[in-house]
Structure 1
Amino acid sequence: MRFSLIVPTLGRTDEVRALLLSLTRQAVRSFEIIIVDQNEDSRLDPVIAEFAGHLTILHLRSAVRLCNHARNLGARHATGDIITFPDDDCEYTPDVLMQVDQFFRNDPGIGFLTGSVILPGGIPGRSGRWLKHDSDIDTQTVWTCLIEFNLFIRRTIFDAVGGFDETLGPGTRFGSGEGQDLALRMLSHGKSGHYIHRLRIIHPDKPVALNVSRAFPYGLGMGRVMRKNRCDLPTVARFLLRPIGGALVNFAKFDFPIARYYVMTFFGRLAGYRAPSPAGAAP
């Protein structure tokens, strides 16, 4: 098996169906899908049955509602050479796995790949975080060219570094940064990563109100990851100053919801950086 696609899911059915439908169109066919179902009911059973004759699907259930616990659980059942973690509201364009397969075959020394995001309908995402060109991943670029649902890793490397830190990410106090944390640990083990701008996965933008509500816990996660991985002080300062600038610009435009998003991001990053290590944190 070439690929293992590990999909943690909670509360969604139509989106999971759309993801599975997009996977039936992949040019590369050597892949398995491991759905880690955190629902208390059986809402996904008919969706999975709908695709059982077209896709190789392993349906796991987890009573633990933590995204990174689900990812690690799925990874323990993976048989593919390369593992990846699509969100349950993603869709794949038909050439995604083909691009990744070719890149890994052409460069046996590469440990992991990342890519960018497009919105449904094929238009670029409105986020300004993504680099506009291909790049090696290092301690500087990891913050602007990585997101978990577009991250492809050789399974042996994922296992070697211990997988995702389950004290980070959705469902925890530190609501984001688990992908950067994983990448930084892979880099510290001497593994190399690369960002391919044209490697795009479809993912919807979240409403402004939801983004504002997530700003503080997501900031906590980033601050925690910078401290945990001993990022240099210029990097820490840069990512503390950026939301201050964003807040000032949007206050000047009287765009108060976006300004509040930046303010909460700043306070979250600062608090995360100053926070003590949570109990059970990965080394």
Structure 2
Amino acid sequence: MLFSLVVPTLGRVEELHALLLSLTKQDIQSFEVIIVDQNDDDRLLPVIATFGDRLTIRHIRSPVRRCNHARNLGARHATGDIITFPDDDCEYPPDVLSQVEARFRTQPELGFLTGSVILPGGQAGRSGRWLAHDSAIDGQTVWTCLIEFNLFIRRSIFDAVGGFDEAIGPGTPFGSGEGQDLALRMLARKVTGFYAYTLKIIHPDKPVVLNVARAFLYGRGVGRVMRKNGCDRETVARFLVRPIGGVAVHLAKFDMLVARYYLMTFLGRLAGYGNAVPSGR
């Protein structure tokens, strides 16, 4: 089983080096790395050269600075059976690919597999509400058991659903939710998805100040994905009410920064859900 790891990257050098180094330590080495370089200079050439004799790397340039465009571009060059999209600032523990291979080999009905997040120090990641047990992925768990950099898909299925929606995600006015959108489209085709609690990828949490700056865009993406995929009213209401609760709790603590984060998240989700969604992918 061959894996294709598509890595969109912009502005990061040391982080990409750390990711590639972690890949050299994988239990299995049956994979290719497709780096989609959105930089306008040659900063990545020394990093790629460092690992040229240890990893199979394809370096693709893209003048378009939009994450899902880069993912789809890289996917068009993929030759693997399983495709995945690690962030350029994450790292793989040594058993990630061997875990994934075992799942797909023993579960031929499996179309896509997800896992959770740990911080560089080994603690549980705070971004996301990760279940502490394995679970099937459905219209509810897709919101609590999935993140793009820990998502593995049979390439034939990825191609069949048309890849990522390039109108959402980082670099667009709808800054998140692209993984959920892709999974919901797969689920609509009766594709089986599964969340493996022990499948963990290392990724740093972003500081709250940075999160506040992008909370509206991220919220807007989630709202748009819910509207686009016809999510039920209960799910929509829950995602609108939850950040309002966060505002109230943190105002009571006089924690204005976090309260503002939740407020911008709410406003973004509301705006995204109200945005007209064109037909198509």
Q: Identify the TM-score tier after normalising by the shorter chain.
A: over 0.9
Residue 5 of structure 1 corresponds to which residue in structure 2? 5
Aligned counterparts of 2:250 and 2:3: Cα–Cα separation in 1? 43
One-letter identity of the residue aligned with 1:212? V
Note the 1:228-267 alignment, pairs <5 A. Answer: 228-267=228-267
Give 1:128 shift. Answer: 5.3
One-letter identity of the residue aligned with 2:269? R
One-letter identity of the residue aligned with 1:247? V
Q: Establish whether residue 90 from structure 1 lines up as the match of residue 99 from structure 2.
A: no
TM-score, normalised relative to structure 1: 0.98
Give 1:282 shift. Answer: 3.8
Aligned counterparts of 2:76 and 2:189: Cα–Cα separation in 1? 21
Residue 70 of structure 1 corresponds to which residue in structure 2? 70
Quote the sequence identity (%).
73
Residue 170 of structure 2 corresponds to which residue in structure 1? 170
Aligned counterparts of 2:182 and 2:96: Cα–Cα separation in 1? 22
Residue 273 of structure 2 corresponds to which residue in structure 1? 273
TM-score, normalised relative to structure 2: 0.98
**Do the aligned partners of 2:227 and 2:277 also contact (CA within 8 Å) in 1?**
no
Aligned counterparts of 2:119 and 2:234: Cα–Cα separation in 1? 33
Residues 128 and 4 (structure 1 numbering): CA distance in 2 closer, same or farther, change over 3 Å?
Answer: closer
**Do the aligned partners of 1:4 and 1:81 also contact (CA within 8 Å) in 2?**
yes
One-letter identity of the residue aligned with 2:267? F
Residue 54 of structure 1 corresponds to which residue in structure 2? 54
Q: Establish whether residue 143 from structure 1 lines up as the match of residue 143 from structure 2.
A: yes
Aligned counterparts of 1:128 and 1:221: Cα–Cα separation in 2? 15
Aligned counterparts of 2:188 and 2:123: Cα–Cα separation in 1? 35
Aligned counterparts of 1:144 and 1:55: Cα–Cα separation in 2? 33
Residue 23 of structure 1 corresponds to which residue in structure 2? 23
Query: What's the RMSD between the two structures over aligned residues?
Result: 0.9
Aligned counterparts of 1:258 and 1:134: Cα–Cα separation in 2? 31
Aligned counterparts of 1:73 and 1:115: Cα–Cα separation in 2? 24
Give 1:126 shift. Answer: 2.4
Which consecutive aligned stretches of 4+ in structure 1 deviate over 6 angstroms post-superposition?
A: none
Give 1:104 shift. Answer: 0.4
CA deviation map 1:35-89 (0-9, x unaligned) = 0000000000010000000000000000000000000000000000000000000
Note the 1:209-220 alignment, pairs <5 A. Answer: 209-220=209-220
Aligned counterparts of 2:108 and 2:277: Cα–Cα separation in 1? 36
Give 1:121 shift. Answer: 1.7
**Do the aligned partners of 1:165 and 1:282 also contact (CA within 8 Å) in 2?**
no
Unaligned segments of structure 2, at least 5 residues? none
Residue 32 of structure 2 corresponds to which residue in structure 1? 32
- SS of the aligned residue for 2:27 comes to coil
Give 1:124 shift. Answer: 1.2
Aligned counterparts of 2:133 and 2:260: Cα–Cα separation in 1? 30
